[in-house]
Amino acid sequence: MEALRGFAFLLLLQAGGEGLSRLLSLPIPGPVIGLLLLWPVVQWTPLRHSLAAASQLLLSHLSLFFVPAGVGVIAHLDLVSAYGVRLLAVILVSTWIGLAVTALVLRALLGRAAPEEKRHE
Amino acid sequence: MNEFVQLWVYLSEAPLFGLTSTLVVYVLVQSVYEKLGHAPWANPVLWSVLMLGTVLVATHTPYQTYFAGAQFVHVLLGPAVVALGWPLWLRRAELRTRGAALVLAATIGGAAAAGSAVLLAWAMDLPADVIRSLAPKSTTAPVAMGIAERLGGIPALAAVFAVLTGMVGALSGKYLFDLLGIRDWGVRGFALGTASHGIGAARALQVHADAGAYAGIALGLQVLIASVLLPLAARLYAWLR
């Protein structure tokens, strides 16, 4: 029941986000505004347990939710056969660049401010 | 035999088919993944997509028929993005002390991922709408679709690129970090969340609690940063040209 109540609230927050995004024609997608709206709602303690239960349930099965979109590749097999090798090369290289740059920048930034935070490791 | 064909036609037309096949395949693949001790190459998203895609192509089932059922799984991506606010809120103390470093790393890393994708795609002479669909690929699929729509790309294609990007990170992140000598679990998780969103974060969560928490922070930050900066970058580019 806790998780269900929390789930209803997550959907309400998403709907509120979609509404705001469209009304104000913001560049930010609805669910992202819903994420921002979650913070003030979480401050309200009676809802905190429900939101925690629903969030943990959803996030522990996050991989599953990507499957239908991923299967969508079969609707674009023409594009894949025309540009497949190039697309794969772009995705591989740019993802590695993204991973490496993020990790190296964060390590450098945290390394400078680290001494008192070493206990985290 | 004829009755069997009719039964198959009925079942594959009903929404039940897409929903059932998605869940059954995922549950099977996920249990194999757990048996194998979360080996990167056994990634459940990769194998679910491969198996379901093969079945659909082999049986000449159109994607629309499959999606009529699978959409009930797909819509959960929306509340899942909202739910990312929860791990962010739990880590609010860390966000306060390390916030500047995290936001800076997510911005630079995200820009490197999106910028290198656009430049490479442009250098390789890919069509403009494909390039626009590639730009938001480091954000989570539903957000990538929203951003691609605003950039003038193809949302469905953006979702596929986002899923592929997630799989690349989940499959190869470990080896890349080992190669670069990055041992801090927080940093590894944060990079996975930034460059390969939810699928990378799901992988980080399975590997180490710290990696998972930082991946969650990165995922939330990346979604915010990308949805503000990518449309701005596209506008700036159009204005310069």
Instruction: Report whether B207 contacts B177 (CB < 8 A).
Output: no
Long-range contact pairs involving B23-27 (C-beta distance under 8 Å, separation at least 24): B23/A64, B23/B73, B25/A67, B25/B51, B25/B52, B26/A63, B26/A64, B26/A67
Q: Please give the Cα distance from B166 to B198 (Å, whole number).
A: 7
Q: Which two tokens stand for residue A19?
A: 């509404």
Instruction: Report whether B33 contacts B43 (CB < 8 A).
Output: yes
- Measure Cα distances from B195 to A105, B106, B123, B166, B221 in Å: 13, 9, 21, 8, 11
pLDDT for B58: 93
pLDDT per residue over B142-193, tens digit each? 778 878 877 888 888 888 888 889 989 999 999 999 999 988 999 999 999 9
Contacts of A11 in chain B (CB under 8 A): 78-79
Q: How confident is the model at residue A120 (pLDDT cuts 50, 70, 90)?
A: very low
Alpha helices in chain A (DSSP H): 2-23, 30-42, 48-60, 62-65, 67-71, 77-112
Identify which of B52, B82, B210 has the shortest CB distance to residue A14. B82
| ipTM exceeds 0.90, yes or no | no
pLDDT for A116: 44
Contacts of B71 in chain A (CB under 8 A): 68
With CA atoms as reference, the chain A residue closest to B208 would be: A121
With CA atoms as reference, the chain A residue closest to B146 would be: A29
Instruction: Give the H or E element holding residue B104.
Output: helix B92-123
C-alpha triplet B165, B139, B43: angle, nearest 5°: 40
Average pLDDT of chain A is 85
Dump strand ranges (E) for chain B: none
Q: Which two tokens stand for residue B41?
A: 């190459």
Q: Say if A83 is an interface residue toward chain B (CB within 8 Å).
A: yes
pLDDT for A119: 44
Domain boundaries, chain A: 2-65, 68-120
pLDDT for B119: 92
Q: Please give the Cα distance from B185 to B215 (Å, whole number).
A: 10
Interchain CB distance below 8 Å, B108 and A121: no
> Would you say residue A115 has pLDDT above 60?
no
pLDDT per residue over A29-73, tens digit each? 888 889 889 988 888 878 888 999 999 999 888 889 889 988 988
Instruction: Report whether A65 contacts B76 (CB < 8 A).
Output: yes
Q: Which two tokens stand for residue B29?
A: 């693949």
Rg (CA), chain B: 19
- Measure Cα distances from A2 to A17, B59, B104 in Å: 22, 41, 36
Rg (CA), chain A: 20
CA B33 to chain centroid, in Å, comes to 18
Give me the residues of chain B with pLDDT under 70, please.
1, 7-13, 239-241
Non-local CB neighbours of B229 within 8 Å, separated by 6+ positions: B107, B110, B111
Q: Please give the Cα distance from A27 to B147 (Å, whole number).
A: 8
C-alpha triplet B172, B173, B177: angle, nearest 5°: 125
pLDDT for B13: 66
